[in-house]
Structure formats: C-alpha cells, structure tokens
Structure 1
Amino acid sequence: MTNGDKPRENPDYQPQSAGPSSYLFIGIGLLVVAALVIGGFIWMTHKTYPPVDDKVLAENASFIVGEKTAPETIDVFEDFHCEHCKKFEQQSGAAIQQAVVDGRIRVRYHMLNFLDKDSGSGDYSSRSAGAVLCVARNDGRDVFWKLHSQLFEKSGDDPTNQQIADLAAADGAGAATRDCIASGRLVDEARAMSDASKQQLSNSTEGQVATPTVLLAGKQVENIMDGTAWLDKIIAGQKPTG
C-alpha cells in the first residue's frame, strides 16, 4: 500500500450485530465455567482423607533417632532446599537432639523433595535425601545429625554428590557411606520414600503439605517456628488438638 492510498476493504465482509443466539452461547459458556468452579470447590470441601498410617511413616522415614521406649514419637517433615526448614533446624535442632539423648522422644525424619525444581541442579533435595539414607544404612546418629545440619547450610551452594560425600567423610562417615553418596545409589529410593511420607502428611493436614511440619500421633504440632516451646509441651505430655 503506497502513501496516501486508503486501505482496501473486503467486499465480502458484512458486519452484523450480535443477535440473541450469540448472547445465548456466551451465557451458556459462563454457566458452564461457573458450574465447574463451584463443583471443584464443593469437591475440595467434601474431600475426605484417610487416617495417618503409622506403619507407613515408620517404614519411610529417612532416619530414625531415639529409643523405641521413649514416651513420645514425633515425625519431622523437611526439605533440604527449604529456607524455613533451615531456620527450624537452627532454632530447634539442638533441643531435639538433647531430648533424644535424654530418652524423652523418638524422632522419625522424613526428607521430602518437592523443592528439587528450585535448586540449581534440579535435584538437590532428592540427592541430599539419598545421602541421608546412605548414612542411615551405614552410620550412626551423630554422623546423621552433623550432615543433616550441614545440608541445610550448603543448600545455596548446591554441592555435587561427591562434595556431599566429602562433607559426610568430615563428619565421620565410613567408606561405605561415602561411596553410596558419591554414586547417588539411594536417590531413587529416597524419592519413593518421600512420596509415601508426603502422602501421609497430606492425610494429616487435609492436603496442606508444607515444610517444616511436625506430627505427634498423626496430628500437626502448632507453632514450631516460634522457638522450642512446642517441644517443651510434648515432653510435658501435652497432645496437639484436632
């Protein structure tokens, strides 16, 4: 089209005003969308969750510390790439360890991996969970506690499997553990355990899965990010409500 020319019109196009049928179709479409939204809300509102299965929690814990005879057993759900979990470890880690040493509690740690995608490697949570599982198969709680804390601190660095193995070695892990971590041998198993643990957490919280979370007798413990008062209450024999 040259300068000064008017745009050519399509002689076959005849604009028409929207008739009653057009509004009818639009109205039906809006009703369908509204029905889907309302139906989804009703479904979510009335969705039921099965009770927490303690056997599944016990079988899929990444690491268990404490005597079976301890008065209380808690389940701790964390993700190694979770900043709130890192803060939780800084606030309550030492108190939890002392309570275990004193025979007050037994702790089942569940290392989840839904934050894998947020790490630089795309699988830091899973690889770290696999490393903890290697420690569980070959070493004791002291190695676990040290590596557990370090993996939160190193999350931003996104260390390789070999670097995680080197951390474990410095924490006292044996050759079998170091080889297991470096090879990533138990990462897939750790993922499967994470999925099973996450489902039990979802059952307890009616689908509101988040980390960190602590369960006592299958019920969520409140205010775990407000210092260690939550742990003091458990040691004192107070149960969560709900």
Structure 2
Amino acid sequence: MKVFLTIVIRVSQKIQNPNQKGNGFIIGLVALVAVVVVVIGAVVFIGRSQPIKGVPDEDVNFSVALDGDVIRLGQLDAKDAKTATVFEDFSCHYCADMSGGGHADELKALSDGKMIVEQRTLNFLDGQRVEDRDGHSTRTYAIARMIAESGNAKAYWNFHNMMMEQQQTAINWDNNDFADRLDQLGVDGDIVKKVRAGVDLAEAQASATKNANDLEKRLGSVSSPHVFVDGKDVLDNIAANGGLGEWVKQVLA
C-alpha cells in the first residue's frame, strides 16, 4: 500500500501548472486518475482476499439434502437413529440459544448416526402478513435451501451455525456481505454469484408458509423453536431439564 501511495505522490508532483504551455498537465492528470483507480481496486481486492472473522470452519461427517420443505441432516445409512423435526426461524433468539447450547451434542449425534435432523424453517418473524415476508428470515432461508440442495454438508452446517451465532449483526448484512462469507465457506461459485446479485425469495416464502401451516396443525399456533420426536414436542419439559441447550439429550433420551 505504501508503494501505491508513493506512486500517487510522485505522479502528482510531476503534474505541471495548467497555465503552462504543453500537454503535460492533462497527461499528468490522466496518469494520476489511472493510478488512483488502480489503488482503489487494489484496496478492494486486498480487503476481500482477507479472511472474514467469525466465519466457522468445522468439519462434519454427515450429509445434507433438500427435500421439499425440509432440510435433512444426518448419516445416509443411519440405523435406529432418532428423527428430530426442528421448527426454527433465523431471526428467533431462542432458536439461536438452542442452536448454540446444543451445538456440540448435535454435531456428535449427527456424526455418530444417532440422530437425523429435519429442519422445517419458518419466517413468521419477518412480519404479520405472509405476502410481506421478505426480510432477514426469508432471505437466509432462501440461501440455506440453495446450499442444502448443492449437497455441501460442511458449508451448510457452518452457514447455519454462523447465522445463529451472529444473528444480531447478520440482520444488517447486504448481498455482498452474505456472498463474501459464502465464498469463504466454500459454497459453490454459482450460488455465491446468485446471492451477490440478489436472491429470489419466492420459493423460500412458499416453503416457510407450508412449514408454518404444518406447525399450526400440530400446535394450533406458530412460534419457535419446537422439536418434535414421534409427534411430541420434546421442548415441553426442557426448562426442567437444563434449558434449550439440552434439546439433543431430550431427543436421544
């Protein structure tokens, strides 16, 4: 960077007074502008090439798949695994607490083939009217669906955890913020390009609405988080068993 600045200074010093004869001033000005453009481009490139803090890089030993309105995590050949249907919203701080508190237990249970997680993502926290839900919850779900559909389990796992861990700041990320982080996570380049250009939310909106309808049939209302095993919500008694971070233990019990 010091080299670039030195060049700018030297070029600027060579620029003649505009009242002097000749084309030196114009040529010098053009050269200065060109150097400034190069410097700005270099600053942007260097900034984007630096690792972004807070982007997780955790290895996994399970698969991910998008199945309609469900994102399924687990071993493909897991036998006798407990299936947990998880209803969550990417803007729900209780969901973030559950995800963070049960992180290690969930990773182990999935990797050991003891649990399969079927995530049914909601977006009710984006607004009251279904047709107006196009905020953070919906956009994050749209991105999550694309990653899951690509089959990149490591990228999906780390993306999901990142969005829960950094929920308070992620709500202010723009398309480039998301795209830069996805690139660092190792997400497919085509997905990164789509996110940078702006994600189509229609599919995620429709899917989240179906998940909300599913939950309403089970409970009579929509809220989050909820974890169902064999038709029962294991979070009903979670407060007496250590809190939301104990949800995996409750699933396996």
TM-score w.r.t. length of structure 1? 0.65
Runs of 5+ consecutive residues of structure 1 not aligned to the other structure = 1-56, 237-242
**Larger CA Rg, structure 1 vs 2:** 1
Partner of 1:149: 161
Q: State which of 192, 213, 225 in structure 2 corresponds to 1:178.
A: 192
Opposite residue 221 of structure 2, the aligned amino acid is Q
Q: Is the 8 A contact 1:134 1:177 kept in 2?
A: yes
Could you tell me how far apart the structure 2 residues matched to 1:199 and 1:234 are?
A: 23
Aligned residues: CA RMSD: 2.4
- Number of residue pairs matched? 176
- The CA distance in 2 between the partners of 1:208 and 1:224, in whole Å, is 19
- C-alpha displacement of 1:161: 2.4
The 1:150/1:230 distance shift into structure 2, 3 A limit, reads closer
Partner of 1:133: 145
Structure 2 unaligned residues grouped into runs of 5+? 1-65
Structure 1 224/164 Cα, relative in aligned 2: closer, same or farther at 3 Å? farther
Aligned equivalents of 1:126, 1:170: Cα separation in 2: 22
Relative to total residues, which structure has the larger helix share, 1 or 2?
Answer: 2
Shift in Å at residue 86 of structure 1?
1.0
Q: Which residue matches 2:217?
A: 203
Structure 2 equivalent of residue 59 of structure 1: 68
Q: How does 1:1-242 map to 2 (within 5 A)?
A: 59-61=68-70, 63-68=71-76, 69-70=78-79, 71-117=81-127, 123-157=135-169, 158-205=172-219, 207-222=220-235, 223-224=237-238, 226-236=243-253
Residues 131 and 187 in structure 1, CA contact (< 8 A), matched pair in contact too: no
1:79 is displaced (CA, Å) by: 0.9
Aligned counterpart, 2:55: none
TM-score with structure 2 setting the length? 0.63
How far apart are the structure 1 equivalents of 2:119 and 2:90?
12
Counterpart-to-counterpart distance in 2, 1:224 and 1:163:
35
Aligned-partner residue type, residue 59 of structure 1:
G
Cα distance between partner residues in 2 of 1:193 and 1:210:
16
